[in-house]
Structure 1
């Protein structure tokens, strides 16, 4: 995963947060689409008494239970693939973290699903910021996340969700935020 884009002036620091448009999401959407349609066509073949898959022989399949089962799993996989394609089209989770000294506020902006929570925007005054907290856990399920510690509120996650970022990218972003806001970092 590439490091998020940085926009910085004397008064504003902004990090772009990548959303769902990652290679792994495209891969799973494509695999589910192809697999789901393959199962669906294979399951429908005994019912229409025609081989709907040109690269496979489905004459050995019976209508019940094989055809029905394959139609069920094919339809299910196709529905899941539609969900993945919708998530990709909407770029769910993308947005930015902006630290604005001029307006004395920090803004976390994310895109969600259509509806009342399509746009998620969290704004806090800069004077409520206590510091940054970093959580790094290596191993089978690594975690590399950093949070904004606030007075009277829970910690806000600044790092993108999904694949862990490289340690160098986490370090660069955390140090850039800490220098810009002149705050401390805990957990490193």
Structure 2
């Protein structure tokens, strides 16, 4: 019996853990948050001018190429940002989020979500370094959790905020269309 257990354990340990490598950063094929197991839908590189900033992956309960359906879905999902660039200040991170929300939301939507956006931006209170991982995880009935290297920074309640956040990556108005295409698995 011991030999059998050792054999089974050996086989299980030999099975590789799959991931997608983007700009030298590994994005796992699956992520688990609470009871939800999410699969990597697609991933791409966020560049600012010619500088690679992060490898970003979209994680869903099942793969989809339908941006509108993903944005509107009230189901678990996540965006993982694995940083390539070293030394992004909290001020720059907050400014980038603010600009991104302004890019994809109407003035009316911005006003309605003003307090939630401010709460979200407040979680980015530290400098981000190479290999830091930010997870933006939506959980129905809870809201959008923000985690830095696996540690929760806070939660923004509401499906309305989740729709706005995921629009930054997936809407037609996004300022990062190459990342959108990659996250949707269309590239």
TM-score > 0.5 by shorter chain:
no
Larger RCO: 1 or 2 (CA < 8 Å, sep 6+): 2
TM-score (norm 2): 0.24
Larger Rg: 1
TM-score (norm 1): 0.24
